[in-house]
């Protein structure tokens, strides 16, 4: 099939909404990363998302709604705390896992009896949800396992010929996927995937916020996980990624010892004057690192990198999300000095 590139004009957004209403899959911009959207209530359309990505069937899709007040249509119970969180963080990069009802088919939830609900703030995504009148299931619009897309061009590279259209809404603001939480008790949530809504921000509303251990540690084969996405190799470019937790001098020693053809360093903006090796940079603070990480991982592949030593980001604030994506991209290969 031909994959049409649409823009953010009202006319093109109507076309995208029409495609989704009719069961097609469309690449959509959001404030986190680009998503692969289809009608969450249409089993066949949802199967087409899994097929286009090559995504394992037990990895659930997040359902995107125009307003949190619509969540009652697709869930069977909503705790008071969820309303409080919605008041503070919706629309935005927060996904809440809630018990689903029958309007969300099992294919969409990866066989779980819960569904992740998110209210995106990106005006293009928001408008397409409104115009389609559909709950939109949308995982990240990358080939499964590869770094998530933050531009329409990335989506085109992964999905050309596999989906009906892509809407270009510019570069994603945050650059990492949403924070996913579940509810442990009346006043406690658990972070299943870190994102731009940080633990500190959630603590403004919740009495306690637990960071699920699987965020920073490898899940053993066959272990039961709270969030199926934790099981899979993720975010990895073709190049072999090695994360190095050290100061700049020690980092440069590691690169020196292992340097050779097709070896790159991925470092912070301020590091460059001291780095005599082939390198790229990914910003100087956690927000910039989040914004740039996936793009750089794709660019390193394009440059022909085979091995990349990456300076580990600080795991504070949104940095925890960057650290979580990188340690998975590295397949948990970390050098700590
Ligand atoms: P992606 O669609 O690529 O952003 O990935 C979504 C991730 O959110 C999945 O891999 C899961 O880890 C998590 N998730 C989505 N829905 C649920 C759910 N119902 N329960 C637990 N985790 C979920
Ligand atoms: Mg993904």
Averaged pLDDT, 273-277: 84
Is the pLDDT at 297 greater than 90, yes or no?
Answer: yes
Q: Which of 159, 180, 215 is the last residue of a domain?
A: 215
Q: Which atom of ligand 1 is nearest to the CA of 230?
A: 12
pLDDT for residue 225: 80
pLDDT band at 217 (very low <50, low <70, confident <90, very high): confident
In a shared domain, residues 211 and 252 = no
Which of the residue ranges 234-238, 272-276, 308-312 would you say has the lowest mean pLDDT?
Answer: 272-276
In whole angstroms, give the CA distance from residue 147 to residue 142.
Answer: 7
The answer as to whether 48 is a domain residue is yes
Q: Residue 224's pLDDT is what?
A: 78
Determine contact, residues 24/38, Cβ cutoff 8 Å.
yes
Q: How does residue 223 score in pLDDT terms, banded at 50, 70 and 90?
A: confident
Same structural domain for residues 32 and 176? Answer: yes
| 128 touches 17 (CB < 8 A) | yes
Q: How many domains does the chain have?
A: 2
* pLDDT for position 275: 85
| pLDDT tens for each residue of 168-196 | 999 999 999 999 999 999 999 999 999 99
Output the CA 113–ligand 2 centroid distance in Å.
Answer: 20
State which ligand 1 atom lies nearest to the alpha carbon of 115. 19
151 lines ligand 1 (CB under 6 A): no
Probe ligand 1: pick from 141, 193, 328, max atoms within 8 Å of CB? Answer: 193
Query: Is 167 among the domain residues?
Result: yes
Q: Is residue 322 part of a domain?
A: yes
**Do 54 and 153 sit in the same domain of this protein?**
yes
User: Taking residues 309-314, what's their average pLDDT?
Assistant: 97
Which of the listed residues 181, 215, 249 is the one where a domain comes to its end?
215
Q: Is residue 134 domain-resident?
A: yes
Higher model confidence: residue 154 or residue 234?
154
CATH number of the domain enclosing 25: 3.90.870.10
Asked if 181 and 270 sit in the same domain, the reply is no
The answer to whether 233 touches 240, Cβ cutoff 8 Å, is: no
Does residue 170 sit within a domain? yes
Ligand 1 pocket, residue 37 CB under 6 Å:
no
Please tell me the distance between residue 165's alpha carbon and the centre of ligand 1 in angstroms: 24
Q: How far is the CA of 158 from the centre of ligand 2 (A)?
A: 13
Residue 325: per-residue pLDDT: 96
Structure tokens at 133: 């009148």
pLDDT given for residue 230 in this prediction: 77
Give the position, in ligand 1's atom list, of the atom nearest the Cα of 112: 19
Ligand 1 centre to CA of 124 (Å) is 22
Query: Which ligand is closest to the CA of 61, given by its number?
Result: 1
Give the orientation angle of helix 10-21 with respect to helix 123-132, to 10 degrees.
50
Nearest-CA residue for atom 1 of ligand 1: 139
Are 184 and 294 found together in one domain?
A: no
pLDDT band for position 219 (50/70/90)?
confident
CA of 234, nearest ligand number: 2
Out of 148, 182, 215, a domain closes at 215
In a shared domain, residues 107 and 8: yes
- 187, 299: one domain: no
| pLDDT(235) > 90 | no
The domain in which residue 52 lies consists of 4-215
Confidence check: pLDDT of 243 > 90: yes
Q: Which of 65, 227, 231 to mutate to test the pocket of ligand 1 (most atoms within 8 A of CB)?
A: 227
pLDDT at residue 227 in the model: 84
- CATH number of the domain bearing residue 249: 3.40.50.11030
Q: Distance, CA 230 to ligand 2 centroid (Å)?
A: 11
88-120 per-position pLDDT tens digit: 999 999 999 999 999 999 999 999 999 999 999
Closest atom of ligand 1 to CA, residue 226: 21
Task: Name which residue sits closest to atom 22 of ligand 1, judged by CA.
Answer: 227
In this prediction, residues 8-13 reach a mean pLDDT of 98
Of residues 270 and 72, the one with the higher pLDDT is 72
Residue 222 has pLDDT above 80, yes or no: no
pTM across the whole model: 0.97
User: For 37-49, what is the mean pLDDT?
Assistant: 98
pLDDT, residue 307, reads 97
């Amino acid at each position: 099939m031909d994959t049409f590139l649409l823009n953010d004009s009202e006319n093109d957004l109507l076309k995208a909404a029409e495609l989704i209403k009719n069961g097609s899959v469309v690449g959509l911009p959001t404030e986190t990363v680009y998503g692969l959207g289809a009608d969450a209530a249409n089993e066949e359309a949802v199967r087409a998302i899994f097929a286009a990505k090559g995504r394992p069937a037990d990895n659930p899709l997040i359902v995107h709604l125009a307003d949190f007040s619509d969540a009652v249509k697709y869930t069977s119970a909503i705790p008071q705390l969820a309303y409080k969180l919605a008041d503070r963080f919706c629309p935005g990069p927060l996904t809440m896992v809630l018990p689903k009802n029958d309007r969300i088919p099992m294919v969409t939830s990866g066989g779980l009896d819960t569904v992740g609900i998110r209210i995106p703030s990106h005006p293009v995504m928001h408008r397409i949800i409104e115009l389609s009148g559909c709950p939109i299931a949308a995982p990240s619009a990358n080939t499964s396992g590869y770094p998530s897309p933050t531009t329409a061009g990335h989506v085109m590279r992964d999905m050309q010929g596999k989906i009906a259209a892509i809407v270009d809404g510019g570069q994603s603001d945050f650059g990492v996927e949403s924070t996913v939480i579940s509810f442990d008790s009346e006043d406690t949530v658990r972070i299943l995937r870190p994102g731009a809504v940080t633990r500190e921000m959630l603590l403004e509303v919740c009495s306690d916020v637990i960071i699920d251990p699987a965020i920073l540690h490898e899940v053993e084969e066959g272990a039961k996980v709270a969030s199926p996405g934790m099981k899979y190799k993720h975010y990895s470019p073709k190049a072999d990624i090695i994360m190095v937790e050290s100061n700049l001098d020690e980092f440069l020693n590691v690169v020196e010892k292992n340097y050779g053809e097709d070896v790159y360093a991925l470092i912070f903006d301020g590091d460059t004057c001291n780095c005599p090796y082939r390198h790229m940079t990914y910003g100087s603070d956690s927000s910039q690192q989040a914004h740039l990480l996936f793009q750089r991982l794709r660019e390193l592949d394009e440059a022909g990198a085979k091995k990349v030593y990456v300076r580990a980001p600080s795991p504070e604030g949104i940095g925890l999300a960057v650290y979580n994506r990188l340690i998975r991209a590295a397949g948990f290969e970390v050098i700590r000095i």
